[in-house]
Structure 1
Amino acid sequence: MNSTQLTQIRTYLLDKKLPIDILVEVYDHFISQISELQKEEGLGFDEAFAKVKNSWQDELRLYWNGSWDLHNNSRFLRKMYLIINRGILKKMLSAGGAVILALFITAQLSNAAVFRYLLTATMVLLTIFPLVHYLRHRADFDLAKKYNKYVLTYYQQSPAIFCSTFALLLPNLDRIYHNSDSVLAVFRFSQSAVGIEDSAFFWSVFLFVIFGNALVFIIQLNYLTQIHKVKPFLKFLQPQA
């Protein structure tokens, strides 16, 4: 295919409002399917392109399905987003579970004083790490702002990518430090001396800091993976003036 024909395919897919990382994959499928039709059925580009567009018509048709977000999306994108969100949830539970397992093992091997400091340090490090990771890769994260006419990847739409749980951790850091005995007691399967209401709030904070920061970091990693796939395609897009 010549450059004009490839531009036609890109323009058609951009009109379907696909995030660029997903568009790149669909673009490759279009090229492969058009090439196969040209080779196997002896069709010209226009005929083959029309036939491929028709085969994707239902999947890429934009419509509102009555959902709360009010956005027109295609059936294909909705299926992709469902797969992506399930993957994020699975990774978050795995990562958060690994942190809890590590703390559980630490509780069996250390005394109350040591565990108090290790638990508090873990909560702080979990909160700081996503921020450090974001700043370290700021140039890649800023690409979404530079090309704000497009959605480069689904992950850039999550506000979690730019934050961590600082707002929750800071006012509760003292609570985490002083309630470390509660965590130690639970991990050692002994009775906790903390009151029910205080315990419920503390455990909510404890779990949110762990799983919330796991979520942020996973979204950041997924964003960076996808943005590297997008970079070769950026030459076809118009950055913000």
Structure 2
Amino acid sequence: MTKENLTEIEKYLKSKNLSSAVFAEVYDHFVMQISELMYNQENSFPEAFLQTKVNWQNELKMVKADLFSFKRIAEIEKGVLQGRFRRMMMIASGFSLVLGTIFYFNEHVYLYMQGALIMTHLLFLIYHFVFRKMSLSEYQKMAFHPLLLRNLLLMLLILPLTNIIFSTTKNLWEFPLNHMFVTFSVILQIQLLNFRTKKINVLMV
């Protein structure tokens, strides 16, 4: 293949807005498959390129990134992204469960640990603002990240039901579940900022 052929492949894949890691992997596959079609089946580059695009049409079709997102990404990117989201939610859920349990048994220890998490979050924010990794408007948009919206929706659905089921008039502060939602949100935001620092795609603007 010529340099112009490689440039055409690169241009096509860049139009799919793939992350750098996924782009590199798919690019290698494209080059290899096109080369095989050209040399083994004696196809011209346009024919081989078209055939390869057809072979990859399902993986590269543009779909909604998430139920709570309007952004469209390639199907193959969505698979990677959703796997990353699941791991992030598992980590956040683990922290939430631990801190919720701690709150139930010892509120003072909980406050120290929650304070440490909030400080970690603030340090990440300061880093991003000082080194201009993120603008204030971008941080404001992060509030509408799909994972945070899911957490908010669950909180709005579950907390009222909890109060109804237990028929309580107690202060919301006294319920571990409320603190678990707060912890979940803080841990998610820390992870989002961490991934942004590493330039890993998590649907951050």
* Normalised-by-shorter TM-score class: 0.5 to 0.7
Q: TM-score, normalised by structure 2?
A: 0.61
Distance 1:6 1:199 in 2: 64
For residue 16 of structure 2, what is the aligned residue in structure 1? Answer: 16
The residue aligned with 1:62 is 62
1:103-140 per-residue CA deviation (whole Å, 9 max, x = no partner) reads 37xx5xxxxxxx55432222211112022124335548
The list of structure 1 runs, each at least 4 consecutive aligned residues, that deviate by more than 6 angstroms after superposition, is none
Kept after mapping to 2: 8 A contact 1:18/1:77: yes
Alignment correspondent of 1:196: 168
Cross-structure match for 1:123? 114
Q: Is the 8 A contact 2:96 2:181 kept in 1?
A: no
Aligned to 2:52, what secondary structure does the other structure show? helix
Report the CA distance between 1:85 and its aligned residue. 2.6
Amino acid at match of 1:141: K
**Deviation of the 1:99 alpha carbon:** 4.3
Pairing 1:104-143 to 2, within 5 Å after superposition? 115-136=106-127, 139=131, 141-142=133-134
Change (3 A) 1:42 1:158: farther
**1:197-236: CA deviation from partner (whole Å, max 9, x where unpaired):** 33545434421232111111222333334449xxxxxxxx
Q: Which residue of 2 aligns with 1:214?
A: 187
2:99–2:180 CA contact under 8 A, matched in 1: no
Quote how far apart the aligned CAs of 1:55 are: 0.7
Q: Is the 8 A contact 1:95 1:214 kept in 2?
A: yes
**1:30 — aligned with what?**
30
Matches within 5 A, 1:151-166: 158-159=142-143
Contact 1:92 1:214 in 2 (8 A): yes
Deviation (angstroms), 1:71: 5.2
Per-residue deviation at 1:12? 0.7
Structure 1 equivalent of residue 161 of structure 2: none
Q: Distance in 1 between matches of 2:144 and 2:95?
A: 16
Distance 1:31 1:14 in 2: 14
CA apart distance, 1:36: 3.9
Equivalent residue number for residue 197 of structure 2? 224
SS of residue matched to 1:141: coil
Aligned residues: 175
| Cα shift at 1:31 | 2.7
Q: Which residue of 1 aligns with 2:6?
A: 6
Secondary structure at 2:170 match in 1: helix
The structure having more radius of gyration, on CA atoms, is: 1
Question: What is aligned with 2:159?
Answer: none
Distance (Å, rounded) in 2 between the aligned partners of 1:50 and 1:159:
41
Instruction: Summarize the Cα distance change of 1:227–1:140 in structure 2 as closer, same or farther, 3 Å threshold.
Output: farther
Could you tell me how far apart the structure 1 residues matched to 2:44 and 2:81 are? 34
Root mean square deviation of aligned Cα: 4.1
Given residue 30 of structure 1, which amino acid in structure 2 is its aligned partner?
F
Alignment correspondent of 2:163: none
Letter in 1 for 2:133: F
Give the secondary structure class of the aligned counterpart of 2:5.
helix
| Aligned mates of 2:41, 2:132 — CA distance in 1 | 43
Normalised TM-score (structure 1): 0.54
How far, CA to CA, are the matches of 1:70 and 1:100 in structure 2? Answer: 33
